[in-house]
């Protein structure tokens, strides 16, 4: 089990929630509400500690957009190698798209060659609107 060590019911529930929502990022508040809804209240500090442990293990990615803003977390499938590619995040629904395409290598080469800057893929996010949210916005 990811996040090995002793496996409490709370830890199992947190990991269950993260896995069920692996297509988007979640906040500690989201996890806390899920646990409360399933009669498993946990101290918020415990949730943070477990998420930090999972992040160190590579089971979850931790994203912090700006200093002082709330961190969000995403479960990472084994072998997904999020540190090797960039990510797109929808500002409306929170979904994450992994940019695992060769074109991104061209962008990284361009940025290095023309701007003298090396991209750090781990925790790198480009913000925008996913296709579904863009369609929804166009209908409104």
DSSP 58-118: TSEEEE--STTSPPEEEE--TT--GGGSEEEEETTT-BEEEE-SHHHHHHHHHHHHHH---
Strand, coil or helix: what is 126?
strand
Residue-wise pLDDT tens digits, 23-32 = 888 999 999 9
Q: What is the pLDDT of residues 22-74, one digit of tens each?
A: 888 899 999 999 999 998 888 999 999 999 999 888 888 887 766 667 888 88
């Amino acid at each position: 089990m990811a996040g090995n060590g002793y496996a409490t019911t709370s830890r199992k529930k947190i990991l269950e929630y993260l896995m069920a929502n692996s297509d988007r990022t979640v906040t500690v508040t989201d996890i806390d509400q899920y646990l409360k809804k399933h009669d498993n209240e946990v101290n918020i500090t415990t949730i943070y500690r477990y998420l930090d442990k999972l992040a160190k293990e590579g089971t979850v990615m931790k994203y912090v957009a700006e200093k002082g803003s709330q961190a969000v977390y995403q479960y990472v499938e084994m072998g997904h190698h999020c540190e090797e590619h960039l990510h797109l995040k929808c500002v409306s629904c929170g979904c994450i798209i992994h940019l695992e395409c060769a074109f991104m290598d061209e962008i990284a080469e361009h940025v290095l060659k023309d701007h003298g800057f090396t991209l750090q893929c781990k925790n790198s996010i480009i913000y925008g609107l996913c296709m579904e949210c863009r369609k929804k916005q166009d209908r409104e």
